[in-house]
Amino acid sequence: MSLQIIGYIATSADGYIATEDGRFDFLTAYQHIDCGYDAFIQDIDIIVMGRKTYEVICAFGEAWPYPHQKGFIVSSQADLPLVHPSLQLWQHSPAALVDMLKQQYHGRVWVVGGTQLQNTFIENNLLNRLEIYEMPVLLGAGIPLFPQNKIQAVALKSIQAEMIANTIIKKTYLF
């Protein structure tokens, strides 16, 4: 079975995914721009996210935004409440999750949000593709996509750089 594991994330021009207090409201100024998200999510079969990202999404108080995808929440917290029947708690390593997914599933997997989980996937050579959407805003400080001294040098193959609506830069890499 074939599995493609994708990181898909937005950053500020200076590389932050959120402000220091975890807010990402800097993205709202650009939500009217079609970056292809609807087409992207329709082709996703499985989502994987860490506990922090999961809790941020749940705090919105809206219906679960990914009801059509199987979901795995990576967390050591055994009593984490799951808000949708498509979700499953995963308490083992991301590498063990990928091994299980390769045996039981096929299709496209989205590693959703979060610096910690994205970087764990990168450090363990688990991503096939990384799409970064760079917003034209400088935050000056915040939560970086790639924290210093967290990742060893990783060679990427740049396959696309695209300007969307003369505003957002989409960079696509293969591992």
Which tens digits make up the pLDDT trace of 49-94? 999 999 999 999 999 999 999 999 999 999 999 999 999 999 999 9
Encode pLDDT of 99-131 as tens digits. Answer: 999 999 999 999 997 889 999 999 999 999 999
Domain range enclosing 100: 3-174
Q: For residues 44 and 70, give the distance between their C-alpha atoms in angstroms, rounded to a whole number.
A: 9
- The CATH number of whichever domain residue 12 belongs to comes to 3.40.430.10
| Paired residues of 168 in beta bridges | 164
Using an 8 Å Cβ cutoff, are 109 and 3 in contact?
Answer: yes
Give residue 147's pLDDT: 87
Encode pLDDT of 135-144 as tens digits. Answer: 999 999 999 9
Give residue 149's pLDDT: 67
What's the sign of the alpha-carbon dihedral 15, 19, 25, 26? negative
What's the whole-number mean pLDDT along residues 169-173? 98
Q: For residues 45 and 110, give the distance between their C-alpha atoms in angstroms, rounded to a whole number.
A: 8
> What's the domain count of the chain?
1
- Coil, strand or helix at 95: helix
Whole-structure pTM value: 0.93
